[in-house]
Chains A and B, each alone.
Chain A
Amino acid sequence: MRLSLRLAFAILCCMLVHVCAANVEAQYLSPQVIEKKVTIHSAAILPAKVEITKESAKGTEMMVAESADISAKVIEAVGQTLQQKKISVVPNSFEPTAMDETRKYKLADIQTRYDALLPKLVKKSKDVKKARFTLGDEVMLLNVHKDADVLVFIRGQGRVFTKGKTAFSLINIFSFDFPFTQITVGVVDARTGDVLVFTKPLSASKVLKDQKALNKMIEKSLKKLPAAT
């Protein structure tokens, strides 16, 4: 009886976490976007960095190839969402094979600048509304397509549990150790480097396997972004 009660409670908790997690989508727009001082017609999506790890009862393992796959899928999902908002996505000019060393280095440097800002963006996301964050006009060194109004930075992390780890997490329900995926999307002015939009949707790990669910998650997370007119 006691065991079945515990199991029922564990399942209930899992369902609750799943439902809540799937709906946690925070979106922050800078005043320039809200007041329509900046209108986004075209965007360049930079190579995404979504890292997923496999967690087993014995610890964490890297999933380098899978991370690259999911990064590509997130780029696709973000691109689709932007296009639904009539924001055109400029052709990808960041294929590693198509770039010379100088361009590769510049891209890496800008990505590093964003990565350095990211912890602050995640922690104080609300400050995007105060136009607090910028990458500086160094972003222009990327020389993206002339028409691009914004650069889109995508980061994320996800955890995939093995069966053993799932069992442990269910048994130790109060350790609140669950698989999840968190993606962050930062939309940055391609000329000034100002952070215009930031969103950090959180979901259960199923989005890693289900492109439709991933698309839906990204779509919801960019819901507040005004469409280009």
Chain B
Amino acid sequence: MDFKRVCQVFLLTSSLLVSSLPVSARVVSAAARPASTFEEAAEEKFVFGQVDQDLLSQIKLLDERFEKEGVVYHEPGLDAYLNRVGTAVLADQKLENVEWKFRALRDPVPNAFALPNGSIYVNTGLLALLDDENQLAAVLAHEVTHVSHRHTYLQNRSVRKKILTVNILNTIANWNPLVGSAGLAVSLIANISPLLLALSMIGYSKDQEKEADLEGLKAATAAGFAPEGMPNSFKAMQRDIEGEQLNSFYSDHPKLQDRINYTTSSIAPGAKKLSDDDAKTAKADYLALMETVDRHNVELAINEARFRSAVYVSQKLVNLHPDSSENVFYLAESYRTLGPRNAELTAQQLTSDAKKKATKTRSKRTLEELDAELLATPEGQAAWKINSEKAETLFLRALELNRFNAPAHRGLGMLYERLNRKEDAASEYAKYLELAPNAIDTERIRRRISVLRGSR
């Protein structure tokens, strides 16, 4: 019995020593850590341990896998552009085990992330949401800070320590005789430690995010980009087009409004500011550079049922070049696939409760079921009437601008098929095949014609 007690005391003491477990209010103190600590940490030389090397080797393999699986978007102009902006904010930083690469990821969700080996990915969804180069530079500078301050390694080390402690505590609690105040205390800590662990991870991560925001702001400004790019990039991300920004329990970034506030207040009073004309030019230049990737993003958004995002981005494209048959086609396609949904979420749909309910429904229903349910409501029918009319007008406009725009015929065919105008649909499909006999989807369209004409 005595030996058991000694073991318990030893395990408890060692577990608390192994890690500064978040049993106390450490979460709060981390968030309130003064800025100077970040700078000191950044200056310290990072020494790679075995655990960091292991993580690095896995990350390198993961990076290669992204390429193999076709999730990295390659377009020579975009690759060169991302590299140019990324290199500018880097300010010639050379770090051990880091090879800087700036790439676009084929994902319509607005996000960016950095791998500790220096691979920085910006989702096509975020590229499409940003308004100018200053905002892009801010995003890249933020991610560069995560790499240069070795945040992933530090987070990995911290989490490992904490999980070990929780495991030890759980073991003590399970084998504790549960008598006396010590036993009760151990049980209590073991029961609440997973919760504290989660809380501590959030706090630590938020801390790193804030550091990345502020250091990124400095780096982007030093590279000659307008500092308001940082708060403006958060404002761009605040557009909740799909109604998916939920204030969940676990969120690794500080709230966007907080980020806007603290980055705005960190901009030096005499810092470079864009005039209205400069801002307009910067926006137009950026949009022109992003035209191809934005079109690609519309396709991805439609594939992933992010129809409102597709409408938003393709409308931007049409605003940029209203006479581009291709851009008009993408807007038409977005309205066609939007189906019985409204193009913009209403204030009621943007309430927290409505968003939670919508998320739950999406997780339960298939896309076809959601469409059918909406079409059974008067609102859904009204939305479909508006969207189908808009789509038809836009498809016809795209063809007016370029009568050889084959995808516009295909889009019209799909629209007519859904409207049960079988002959019109088959005729449009036939025109598509005539104009694009070697397209990737010829078999698919031939089959549709056969079904429409009742031959199978």
Residues of A within 8 A of B (CB): 47, 57-59, 61-65, 68, 96, 99, 101-102, 104-109, 111-113, 116-117, 119-120, 132-134, 137-138, 140-141, 143, 168, 171-172, 174-175, 191
Contacts and interface: CB of A to CB of B under 8 A. Distances in A.
A127 to B, nearest CB: 9
Given A64-B58, A96-B68, A112-B303, A171 B160 contact: no
Contacts of A104: 69-70
Interface of chain A: mostly helix, strand, loop or mixed? helix
Contact of B171 (A59, A134, A137, A171): A171
B448 A137 contact: yes
B444 A172 contact: no
11 contacts: A57-B167, A58-B164, A64-B62, A64-B65, A105-B106, A106-B440, A134-B366, A134-B368, A138-B303, A138-B444, A141-B444
Contact of A116 (B171, B305, B368): B305
A47 B68 CA distance: 11
B92 interface: no
A162 to B, nearest CB: 12
Interface residues of B, number: 37
A175 B163 contact: no
A141 B159 CA distance: 43
Nearest to B299: A109
Nearest to A137: B444
A99 B69 CA distance: 10
The 6 tightest CB contacts between A and B, nearest first, are A104-B70, A108-B70, A64-B61, A140-B444, A58-B160, A59-B163
Given A58-B160, A108-B69, A116-B305, A140 B62 contact: no
Nearest to B159: A59
Given A109-B303, A116-B304, A137-B448, A58 B163 contact: yes
B443 interface: yes
A101 B74 contact: yes
A27 to B, nearest CB: 21
B48 interface: no
Contacts of A141: 440-441, 444
Nearest to A63: B58
A108 B71 contact: yes
A141 B363 CA distance: 26
Nearest to B447: A191
Contacts of B70: 96, 99, 101, 104-105, 107-108
Contacts of B61: 64-65
Contacts of A58: 160-161, 163-164
B175 to A, nearest CB: 7
A138 B440 CA distance: 11
Contacts of A47: 69
A64 B68 CA distance: 13
Contact of A172 (B171, B305, B443): B171
Contacts of B364: 120
B300 interface: yes
A108 B106 contact: yes
B63 to A, nearest CB: 9
A62 B54 CA distance: 9
B174 interface: yes
Interface in B426-450: 440-441, 443-444, 447-448
B10 to A, nearest CB: 16
A63 B74 CA distance: 27
Nearest to B71: A108
B87 interface: no
B447 A137 contact: yes
Contacts of B448: 137
A119 B58 contact: no
B135 interface: no
Q: Which of B67, B161, B163, B444 has most chain A Cβ within 10 Å?
A: B444
B355 to A, nearest CB: 19
B300 to A, nearest CB: 7
Interface in B139-192: 159-161, 163-164, 167, 170-171, 174-175
Interface string B36-63: 0000000000000000001100100110
Contact of B303 (A62, A63, A113, A140): A113
A113 B65 CA distance: 19
Q: Which of B106, B167, B304, B305 has most chain A Cβ within 10 Å?
A: B167
A179 B430 CA distance: 55
A45 B185 CA distance: 55
B102 to A, nearest CB: 18
A133 B363 CA distance: 14
B186 to A, nearest CB: 14
Contacts of B164: 57-59
Given A105-B106, A109-B300, A143-B440, 19 more contacts: A47-B69, A62-B58, A64-B62, A68-B65, A96-B69, A104-B69, A112-B303, A116-B304, A116-B305, A117-B366, A119-B363, A137-B444, A138-B303, A140-B441, A140-B447, A141-B440, A171-B174, A172-B174, A191-B447
A107 B68 CA distance: 11
Contacts of B68: 96
A146 to B, nearest CB: 8
